[in-house]
Amino acid sequence: MDRKRTASLMAATAALGAATALSVAAGAGAQGTIVGCKPANNVEAIIDDSGSMALSDRNELRRTGLELFIGAGSNEKKTLGAVEFGTAAATVFAPRVIGASAVGRKPMITALRASIGANNGGTNYDAGFVKAFQDNRTADARIFLTDGANNGTFNNTHFPGPRTYVVGLGIGAPGTNPDADRLQKIATDTGGIYFPGVNAGTFQPTFNAITAAVSCLQAPRAFVSKPFTKAGQTSSGTSTVARSTRNVDVVLNWAEPTNAFAFSAIQALGRKNKVLADLKGKGKRDKLRTKKSSGETFRSITVRKPKGTRKLRFRLKAGRVTVPEVTVTQLTQRR
């Protein structure tokens, strides 16, 4: 990846974090939550699967983004349903509690992999919103993703509706074109957030930012690596941890499924950077308590914060690099 593309990714990653914070912030609560924000417990995803997605999302990151949402520790008790739309719309899976078990989540992931395929013709926003309402009338939040303009007249079927997190894949900021203005209107009308200009590098990080926003958590802190060009290269980062934090979600994202990355270390640090516990500790006292989930292009680990932790340090390592690229690691603190 050249310097220009790396700089673009870093700017886009910073922008998505800022968009999340500015759009939902009314002040930080004691546990890093957003004061005045009510967490959503029932989410409906509306995913564009029109033919143009074969080019704009060739790696099906819209699917792995939802898999990341399903695997997030903060979403275990939430209900999630999903529809895909193009010319028409169809149910991907009916609303159900996500749950903590990987076995329980597997049918949702299997349904996503079977349904998403850029094989649904044109782009009909109304079909997606109407089907979402039919499937999940009690949803208190929605995720709406599209890569293009609505075909024909849009009848504003998003309204009235729950707050909607709108992802514009390759669609710019409001004021730059009518398509962007329409997507901003959907977000504004429902009290949601519009994420413009999303690309392959920021696709999954955007879904992770939505995970935080849905639960009224402060925006994740993002670390963008230098370009990886070969196996064995490493990257690292350190973040302070609030005293009130109990869990930290550490999520590693990349775009190219033929590449492979993993965490080689995660450490809880106390005073004077003393290592209190490690991802690979040998005993009960020095091994971090974690929950893990993974997909083709992400690794997610929820870390239970040991007593006395002031910082969390991570190191990731490239296992396979077929295409040079940078990675994005995000840390979200929660109770």
> What is the C-alpha to C-alpha distance for residues 116 and 102, in angstroms, rounded to an integer?
21
The CA angle 170-176-177, to the nearest 5 degrees, is: 75
This prediction has a pTM of 0.90
pLDDT of 236 strictly over 80: yes
> What is the C-alpha to C-alpha distance for residues 9 and 172, in angstroms, rounded to an integer?
15
Residues 74, 249: contact at Cβ < 8 Å? yes
Residues 319, 194: contact at Cβ < 8 Å? no
pLDDT band at 252 (very low <50, low <70, confident <90, very high): very high
Residues 128, 90: contact at Cβ < 8 Å? no
Q: What is the pLDDT of residue 33?
A: 57
Q: What is the pLDDT of residue 284?
A: 64
pLDDT tens figures, 268-325 = 999 999 999 999 887 666 899 999 999 999 999 999 999 999 999 999 999 999 999 9
> What is the C-alpha to C-alpha distance for residues 120 and 87, in angstroms, rounded to an integer?
6
HSE-CB at 214 with a 13 A cutoff on CA atoms is 32
The CA angle 330-164-211, to the nearest 5 degrees, is: 20
Task: List beta partners, residue 313.
Answer: 238, 267
SS3 label, residue 186: helix
Say which amino acid occupies 332: T
The CA angle 108-304-274, to the nearest 5 degrees, is: 145
Domains and CATH numbers, the chain: 27-214 (3.40.50.410), 221-334 (2.60.120.380)
> What is the C-alpha to C-alpha distance for residues 110 and 67, in angstroms, rounded to an integer?
10
